[in-house]
Amino acid sequence: MTPPKCTICKAKGTNFPVQVLLPSYNLKLCRGHFLEWLEGRVEDTIRHFRMFTKRDRILVAVSGGKDSLGLWFLLHRLGYDADGLYIDLGIPEYSSQSRRYAQDLAERIQRTLYVVSLSEELAPIGDMKQWSRKPACSLCGTVKRYYMNRVAREKGYTVLATGHNLDDEVAVLWNNVLQWNMEYLARQYPVLPAEGPFLKKVKPLCRISEKESALYTIFNGISYIKPECPYSVNASSLENKKFLQQLEEARPGTKITFYTGFLRELAPLLQEKTRETTELTLCRVCGEPTTTEVCSVCQLKQKMGRI
Ligand code: Q46
Ligand code: ZN
Ligand code: ZN
């Protein structure tokens, strides 16, 4: 049997071995053309959603995982002005390893990496339950949003980028649809515009699957943390991902069709309906944007006796 030919090589008259099968797009690609295809797709997403231009200063939130490190590398390669921010959650071993990977990439591409240590700012994420009844992941989300916005604004960045991939977005979308959580659905978009002191937030990998993102990072020789965060074990998003993967295997393209259909058909209607419903003010203690008098992070600091 003759081995399959790379779809793009076939058109260009080259002949490199196929390394990636993308049944959702009916493509079989060699390594070089896969990298080109993925970068083109991200560039197209950036342009389509008007995420940023080469004049913007981008801060990428890097966790040490494949998606955010791959994204940082890709933006740098495409000539965007992108630095990194790593938030060290103080999880034994996991945090020090992932921090190392973020630092390694910063050295390789010669870009600035800011590091915020939760242990220094508040307490390790695992100790927070002493001061809050919220689950670790919910607290983590709050502190990450807070420091991302704060560091980006203080250091003069214009856009915040995160490495959420298609599988992440589809799992959240599915969950929000199951619960008909209209408020969350209205905010689920790859671009959230700047809102007063909140910076513009973008997800350039929203049309790249988890597998594609992992291959991009591996093919570029970037080391990343492989185990999931220990707190993610029970997350319902993992169950959703498993279920959606079964659908994808039965019908390739299900995820991308579901997601892009939502962005095209429903998201604009929901955004129109819920426009300007939240009143923002500035935290009386730290000056960061909040919906309450004192922001959640300062409330935590107060309980800890740190302010
Ligand atoms: S890092 Fe944080 Fe995730 Fe870990 S504590 Fe939960 S939210 S699972 S993206
Ligand atoms: Zn090829
Ligand atoms: Zn505050």
Residues 169 and 74 both lie in one domain: yes
Q: Is the CB of 16 under 6 A from ligand 1?
A: no
Residues 303 and 200 both lie in one domain: no
**What amino acid is encoded at 201 in this protein?**
K
Give the Å distance between the CA of 281 and the centre of ligand 3. 11
Give one DSSP letter per residue of 72-89, joined into a string: HHHHHHTT-EEEEEEEE-
Q: Which positions ≥6 away from 47 have C-beta within 8 Å?
A: none
| Rounded Cα distance, 183 and 277, in Å | 10
| Rounded Cα distance, 50 and 48, in Å | 6
CB 2 within 8 A of CB 40: no
CATH number at residue 258: 3.40.50.620
Ligand nearest, relative to CA of residue 34: 2
Substitution candidate for ligand 1 out of 67, 91, 140 with most atoms within 8 A of CB: 140
Q: Is the CB of 268 under 6 A from ligand 1?
A: no
What's residue 83's pLDDT? 98
Residues 197 and 297 both lie in one domain: no
Q: Is the CB of 137 under 6 A from ligand 1?
A: yes
| Closest C-alpha among 138, 175, 159 to residue 262 | 175
Identify whether 166 is part of a domain.
yes
Ligand nearest, relative to CA of residue 232: 1
Residue 28 CA to chain centroid, in angstroms? 26
pLDDT per residue as tens digits for the range 64-78: 999 999 999 999 999
Could you give the count of Cα atoms lying within 13 Å of 156 in the half-sphere of its Cβ?
2
Q: How confident is the model at residue 275 (pLDDT cuts 50, 70, 90)?
A: low
Identify whether 36 is part of a domain.
no
Q: Which atom of ligand 1 is nearest to the CA of 140?
A: 2
Q: How many domains does the chain have?
A: 2
Nearest CA to ligand 1 atom 7: 137
What's residue 276's pLDDT? 58
Q: How confident is the model at residue 145 (pLDDT cuts 50, 70, 90)?
A: very high
Give the Å distance between the CA of 228 and the centre of ligand 3. 30
What stretch of H or E contains 116? Answer: strand 113-117
Residues 145 and 205 both lie in one domain: yes
Identify whether 41 is part of a domain.
no
Substitution candidate for ligand 1 out of 66, 118, 128, 137 with most atoms within 8 A of CB: 137
Residues 211 and 250 both lie in one domain: yes
Identify whether 22 is part of a domain.
no
Identify whether 18 is part of a domain.
no
Residues 141 and 105 both lie in one domain: yes
| Rounded Cα distance, 40 and 61, in Å | 22
Arithmetic mean of pLDDT, 86-112:
98
Q: Which positions ≥6 away from 12 have C-beta within 8 Å?
A: none
Residues 204 and 305 both lie in one domain: no
Residues 221 and 292 both lie in one domain: no
pTM of the model: 0.95
Residues 248 and 302 both lie in one domain: no
Residues 188 and 306 both lie in one domain: no
Q: Is the CB of 136 under 6 A from ligand 1?
A: yes
Identify whether 33 is part of a domain.
no
Give one DSSP letter per residue of 140-161, joined into a string: HHHHHHHHHHHHHHHTT-SEEE
Residues 205 and 68 both lie in one domain: yes
Q: Is the CB of 140 under 6 A from ligand 1?
A: yes
Identify whether 17 is part of a domain.
no
Nearest CA to ligand 1 atom 1: 229
What's residue 197's pLDDT? 85
Flag whether pLDDT at 273 surpasses 90. no
Residues 271 and 294 both lie in one domain: no
Give the Å distance between the CA of 103 and the centre of ligand 2. 32
Identify whether 269 is part of a domain.
yes
Q: Which domain holds residue 127?
A: 48-227+236-276
Q: How confident is the model at residue 278 (pLDDT cuts 50, 70, 90)?
A: low
